Structures are given as structure tokens and as C-alpha cells.
Amino acid sequence: MAWGGEYAAGGSRLWSRGIRLLPWLLVAPLFLVPFGAAVMGGVSGSAGAPGGGIQRFLATLGSPSVQASLRFSLLQALASTGLSLLLGLPGAWLLSRYDFRGRRLYAALSGIPFVFPPVLFTLGFVRAWGRNGLVNSGLMALLGLEHPPLTFAYSFSGVVVAHALLNFPLVVALVGAVWSRVPRTPEDAARCLGAGEGRIFATITLPSILPGVAAAASLVFLYCFMSFAIPLTLGGGPQYATLEVSIYAAVSGEQDFARAGTLALLEGCCAVGVLALYSLLQARAAATSTDAPAERRPLSASRRTFRLASAAWLAGSGALGASPLLALLGSSFTRVGRWGGTPTFSTDAYARTFTDPASLRAMADSLLLALAVAALGVGIAVLLLVGEGRAAKAGFRSVFFALPVALSSVMLSLGYLVLFPLGAGVGALALVQATAAYPLAWRTLSAARSRIPAGLDEAAILLGADRPRILATVDLPLLRQALFSSLALCAAISLGEINAALMLNPTDFPLLGLRAYRLMGSYQYPLACALGVIVCLWAGLAFAAADRFSEEPR
């Protein structure tokens, strides 16, 4: 009898350890196997070459072209991050400290990176700021110029400005959230002692928000460093190619998987380091903030000069951030005459879109893929919740599970191409997108579960329930809203992602964003913009649904 009890207890401990290992056994192969295959392709792809694979790998790593790609990736990411902070920090301060009319509308800019996929953002940026864009056309008509005054779009400056316009709303949202939770008591005490506003900011406010600013900067740097669509379109040549673009060029143009794997390893190491830094800074920022945001003062009670300056900044930065989206929308309602005639208002692009079999097929396939990615991403997130338990601590685990943020879809797609040289197919495309989406679903569900009273789980444990049963019968019914929010968020990510589709190129499975990109390449701008508006509308509705079901505003 005693032996039977010990056997049962041992089986229970073995089951518990197996459950704890489930996240590692599930998630590790999901992104480490394709990434490892991509890297091994770089090491072994030239094994038959003179000098062996390792020597060729090291030679490729030190080649001038690879170093140039790394140098450009770092330089444009640093410049883009600096410009994003310059545009975003004043808005973050105003949002966190003041109430004013239009505050919600300005705060809604933070959703642009989610509802505006980079490839479509690039299309809107070109239509707004390109040589033949709306801004140049307006300036030429206003000033009577014969040539467009703004010619920076297809250059290093164009890449930096596009990245900044896409990412500064993230700075506004992230830093604004940290700034609004900085305790006001030390500042008020310093004012009572006669300290000026400049000294208060330099000695009290700035040290308090610095971890949050650094965390936002590291995240923007990571996004810009791993950028693909913007430098691919605006780079203007191989001298302006990021590591992501170089990987794509090595695979699609040269079929050089050894070079692509070398680039993937280099980019992966850099990106993982930045992700670890972001996690550290984000934890420090959370430790220095309060639980509830401080009360905001009405902007109307401030001095007139300050009100006017604030209104001008909010209007100007808001117009800059929304300009690509507005240009995309405006261009979708135009018809360009022959031989460069003046564009006129027309709905022809939408009429063609909804009567074109290829576009209708792309819509159906995009929605089908989004549903599959949502199911996969949330399913993976739920299995992670089964394994980690309520008492799981942040740290290495959180960084490890978030690694797909640092291992881009281009890198993962390269791994699947190495694993399946005859064609990875739609299944690999869904896996790549689900791998990119599940960290957000996991964080959403984990945050929601942390608010469930621990006593419910403890009561279930006393009644003999194991971890999977607790999750199924106690936690998941209470996480219904968070589940819907995670599903919508994963679908929104899938709708705008074309990087993996460009790499894997699954036959007979067109996607809406990919079709818009190819129409843009053939200068069919109105039709491409119409498709882009549809993608943005769908992604926006999915993001709005995610925000609606979320327990906290995003």
C-alpha cells in the first residue's frame, strides 16, 4: 500500500515536471529549429568549397558587403531612433500631464504601427512625400515651382524619416504610460522648496522616466534595425540595404543560402542582445512607476503662449504621423490620366478591386490565413500558460518566450527554406506568422491571469485538481475577454505581414498585402492604394476588437 502511494506520488511529480517542461519543449523547436537551420545553412552551405565551411563562413562574415549591411543597419536604426524620440517625447509629456480636446484622437496614433503594415506604410509614404507625392504637388502649385522641392524619399534620409514617422507613436504611447505613473510628490516638494521647473525636470523627473525612455528607444531601435519593407523600397540600391534586405537578396536573387545564413546569425545575435536590454530596461521602468496614473491638469488653464505652442506641436506631429495613411486613402480615390495627366477623383480602383478575381482570391486567402494564425498563436499561448503556472517569475523565461520578436519572419522563413528545399508551403507561412504573433497573445493572457484571485486556484488544488484542469475550469472561463483580444491581435498581425510571404512565396496562395506591393512595383498606385486601404481597415478593425475585449486600453 505504501509502495503504491509512493508510486502515485512519484507519478504525480513526474507529471508536474513534464507540465513545467511543456513550454520549453513546445516553443524552443518552434523558432530555434528554423533559426538553427538558417544558421547551419551558412556554416555548411559552402562545406564543399575550398577551405571548408567554417573558413568560408568566417570569410563571409568579414566581407566588405556584409560589414556594409551591418554598418547601414546600425546607422539608420540609431538615426531613426533619435528622430523618433525627438518627435515622440513632447507628445508623451503632453499626453501624460495634460487634458485637452482631441487627446484621444492624438493618443490613437499609437495604433498606427499595428494597423499600418510597413509595406503599405511605405506605399503611403511615397504617395505623400515622394517626388510626385501630394506634398510636392501642393508645394509646386503653391510656390509656382517647376521641380519638386523634396527629393529625399529614396535615400538614407527617406529611410530614416519613414522609420521615424512609423515608430514615433510608439514612443508617445510607451513613454507617456511611464511618465503618467511617475509619482508627483517629489516634484511638488521641490516646488515648495523654491526649485525652478528646469531644475525639477533635470534632477527629479528625468531620472524617473529615463528607464522608460531607454526601454522605448531600445524597442524602436530593434524594429528599425530589423526593418525590411521600408529599406527594400526606399533604400535606392544595395548601399542602403539592411541585414534583412541582404538576406532576402541572397535568397531570391543569388540562391546563396550560405551567405543568407551568415547574415541571419549576425542579425540574430544583435537583435537578441537588444531584446535582452529592452527587457531589463522595461523591468526597471516598471519598478520606478506607481500603479495608477497621476491626475492630469487641464491644458486650457495654462498660459496662452504654452497653449498655442502645444497645439501647434500636437497638430504638426499628428499630421506627420497620419500623412502616409491619409495619402494612401486619398490616392485610392484617384484616376491618373494618360501621359502623366492630372489625377482626378474616381472610385474606379475600388470597383476594379471588388470585381477582379485575383483581388477577391487574395482577400479570401488573407482572411483564411489570419484565422489560422490567430488559432495557432493563441493555442501556443494557452499551452505556455499550462506549463508556466501562476507563480512563474519574470526573467530569463520571459526573454526566451519573447525571442521571436528578435528572430524576424525573414530569418525564420530562411530556416524553413533550408529545411524544405522543395518548397515550404502555406503551412510554413502560417507557422512563421504564428511564431511572430504568439508572444503578444501570451503576454496579454499572462497579464489577465495575474489579476485573477489566487485563492481560486488554491481552492482547486486542495480539491485535487492539477494544473491543466485548473486552467481549463477556473482560469480560461475568466479569461474569455483576453482570449478574444488575443485572437484579434494575432489576426491583425497576420493581415499586414508580407515578409514571410515574400521569402517563402507559396504557390497558388496570393495575399492582399503582397498583391498591393506588387501593384506598387508596377506603378498601379490607385489600385495598390485601394488594396492597402482594405488591409489597413481590416487590421484596424481587428486591433479595435483586441482593444475592446482587453481589460486595459492598449
Which of 328 and 288 is assigned the larger pLDDT? 328
Report the pLDDT value the prediction gives residue 236, as an integer from 0 to 100: 58
Round the average pLDDT of the chain to a whole number and report it: 79
Asked which of 7-21, 135-149, 173-187, 499-513 is least confident by mean pLDDT, the reply is 7-21
Measured CA to CA, the distance from residue 394 to residue 108 in angstroms comes to 30
Whats the size of the chain, residue-wise?
A: 554
pLDDT at residue 503 greater than cutoff 70? yes
Write out pLDDT tens, residues 190-200: 778 777 767 77
Helix H, strand E, coil C: the string for 457-478 is HHHHHHCCCCHHHHHHHHHHHH
Q: How many CB atoms lie within 10 A of CB 337?
A: 9
What confidence tier does 404 reach under pLDDT thresholds 50, 70, 90? Answer: confident
Q: Which three cell numbers stand for residue 434?
A: 504564428
Is residue 147 a contact partner of residue 526, using CB atoms and an 8 Å limit? no
**Residue 554 has what pLDDT?**
46
Tens digits of per-residue pLDDT, 108-128?
777 777 677 788 888 889 889
Residue 541's pLDDT is what? 83
* % the chain with pLDDT above 70: 81
What are 510-521's pLDDT values in tens digits? 788 888 888 887
Q: What is the mean pLDDT of residues 159-188?
A: 85
One-character DSSP codes across 165-220: HHHHHHHHHHHHHHHHTS-SHHHHHHHHTT--HHHHIIIIIHHHHHHHHHHHHHHH
CA dihedral sign of residues 330, 331, 333, 338: positive
Residues 6 or more apart whose CB falls under 8 angstroms from that of 541 comprise none
**pLDDT tens, position by position, 405-447:** 777 888 888 888 888 877 677 888 888 898 888 888 888 888 7
Tell me what percent of the residues of the chain surpass a pLDDT of 90.
10
Residue 514 burial by Cβ neighbours in a 10 Å radius (0-12, 13-18, 19+): buried
**Looking at residue 425, what is its pLDDT?**
78
Q: What is the pLDDT of residues 45-104, one digit of tens each?
A: 544 444 445 677 677 777 888 888 889 999 999 999 999 999 999 988 888 888 888 888
Binned at pLDDT 50, 70 and 90, residue 397 comes out as: low
pLDDT for the residue numbered 18: 57
Q: What is the pLDDT of residues 315-327, one digit of tens each?
A: 998 899 889 989 9
Structure confidence at residue 82 (pLDDT): 95
Residues 334, 130: Cα–Cα separation, whole Å: 17
CA angle 197/201/204 to nearest 5° reads 120
Higher-pLDDT residue of 435, 507? 435
Tens-place pLDDT, residues 351-396: 998 998 988 998 999 999 999 999 999 988 888 877 665 555 555 6
Categorize the per-residue pLDDT at 164 as very low, low, confident or very high, splitting at 50, 70 and 90: very high
pLDDT digits (tens, 9 = 90+) for 458-484: 666 565 665 666 666 666 777 788 888
8 Å CB contact between 243 and 69 = yes
In the DSSP assignment, the letter for residue 99 is: E
C-alpha to C-alpha distances, 448 to 247, 316, 445, 482, nearest whole angstrom: 38, 37, 5, 7
Name the CA dihedral angle for 300, 302, 305, 306, rounded to a multiple of 10 degrees: -100
Residue whose C-alpha is closest to residue 245's, from 223, 261, 262, 230: 230
What local confidence, expressed as pLDDT, does residue 456 receive? 63
Q: What is the DSSP letter of 345?
A: E
